[in-house]
């Protein structure tokens, strides 16, 4: 994700108070800059780096910040900065692997109004929205929803109805997606390309905020949702020419330990043929919670074989937040 800096969207792309029917300045101020430092020996350090920067959104009167979880995964320190220049330390309360949401509690007063949550279920392609990054109007972008559909991420992640917007915001991580009434619809996760009218369009993928309500209390109380952790194999897979290909393996993860290799094709999970990446991950999860055995049928250099993998809880491989 692009680093915060001294830049601005062209004025024509920025939202203005005359175009909105809510308190635009308050909404802009509810988005904070989040910086996290991660130990060099952290499990995610080699992939996500040891210095991460993005955004977070204040969603409660106590200053609770909602962000995208990869920014705070294994963080040993977090700092939050407001548009008004206030800087406070934060504590990583929770990271939900299934949705991708992360929660940070500021350890000082931010003095900001929370952003009300909206109803992503009612959002449709073509809806006008605003993508807000930290930095006020200069870093807020008028956009449209260009798709609302299933998303499968190579890191064993699936959303039933992700929100895709265009044009792209360069500081997407943890950015706020708000509707025309100033309500929060989603949290920024990725820079993507979507096909619109037969052409590839750069845009952003957002995690719908309605996924938060069912798990929020559990995340606050226990640091994770009160559901059995999903079976995790430690594979990074992609679809290529109609095949599902193992493009990476988590070091020391279940699949690597079981002998899965880079370049292997996944033909079946539990004896069932696969209709795509999302179907593969759902089939893995249907085998049972973390710790369950998952059988993959692989093709390697034209020869097929089966491998049985004892799945794990991804969270067990991550460093836990440090208590302050």
Residues 6 or more apart from 307 whose CB is under 8 A from it? 258, 259, 260, 295, 296, 298
pLDDT of residue 224: 83
**Domains of the chain, each with CATH number or no CATH:** 18-114 (2.40.10.10), 120-211 (2.40.10.10), 235-317 (2.30.42.10)
Distant-in-sequence, close-in-space partners of 20: CB < 8 Å, separation ≥ 6: 130, 180, 182
pLDDT in tens, the chain (324 residues): 555 568 999 999 999 999 999 999 999 999 999 999 999 999 999 999 999 999 999 999 999 999 999 999 999 999 999 999 999 999 999 999 999 999 999 999 999 999 999 999 999 999 999 999 999 999 999 999 999 999 999 999 999 999 999 999 999 999 999 999 999 999 999 999 866 556 677 999 999 999 999 999 999 998 888 889 999 999 999 999 889 999 999 999 999 999 999 999 999 999 999 999 999 999 999 999 999 999 999 999 999 999 999 999 999 999 876 654
Q: Which residue has the tokens 């509707």?
A: 179
Alpha helices in 11-145 (DSSP H): 24-29, 45-48
- 181 CB contacts (<8 Å, ≥6 apart)? 21, 22, 118
Dist CA 237 CA 264 (whole Å) = 10
Tell me how far the alpha carbon of residue 291 is from its chain's centroid: 24
DSSP class of 264 = -
pLDDT digits (tens, 9 = 90+) for 222-263: 888 888 999 999 999 999 988 999 999 999 999 999 999 999
């Amino acid at each position: 994700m692009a680093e915060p800096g001294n830049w601005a969207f062209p004025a024509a792309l920025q939202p203005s108070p005359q175009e909105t029917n809510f308190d635009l300045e308050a909404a802009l101020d509810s988005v904070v800059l989040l910086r996290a430092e991660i130990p060099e020996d952290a499990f995610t350090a080699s992939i996500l780096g040891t210095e991460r920067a993005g955004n977070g959104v204040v969603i409660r009167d106590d200053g609770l910040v909602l962000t995208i979880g990869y920014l705070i995964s294994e963080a040993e320190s977090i700092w939050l900065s407001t548009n008004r220049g206030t800087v406070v330390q934060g504590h990583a309360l929770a990271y939900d692997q299934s949705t991708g949401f992360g929660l940070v509690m500021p350890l000082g007063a931010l003095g900001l109004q929370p952003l009300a949550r909206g109803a992503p279920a009612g959002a449709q392609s073509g809806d006008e929205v605003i993508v807000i990054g930290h930095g006020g109007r200069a870093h807020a972008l008028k956009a449209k929803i260009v798709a609302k559909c299933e998303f499968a991420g190579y890191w064993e992640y699936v959303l039933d109805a992700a929100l895709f917007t265009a044009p792209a915001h360069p500081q997407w991580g943890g950015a706020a997606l708000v509707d025309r009434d100033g309500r929060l619809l989603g949290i920024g996760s990725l820079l993507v390309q979507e096909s619109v009218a037969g052409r590839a369009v750069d845009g952003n993928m957002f995690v719908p905020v309605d996924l938060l309500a069912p798990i929020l209390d559990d995340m606050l109380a226990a640091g994770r949702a009160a559901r059995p952790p999903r079976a995790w194999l430690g594979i990074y897979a992609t679809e290529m020419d109609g095949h599902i290909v193992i493009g990476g393996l988590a070091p020391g993860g279940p699949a690597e330990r079981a002998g899965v290799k880079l370049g292997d094709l996944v033909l079946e999970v539990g004896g069932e043929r696969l209709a795509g990446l999302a179907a593969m991950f759902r089939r893995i999860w249907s085998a049972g919670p973390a710790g369950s055995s998952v059988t993959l049928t692989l093709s390697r250099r034209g020869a097929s074989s089966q491998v049985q993998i004892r799945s794990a809880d991804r969270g067990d491989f991550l460093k836990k937040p440090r208590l302050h």
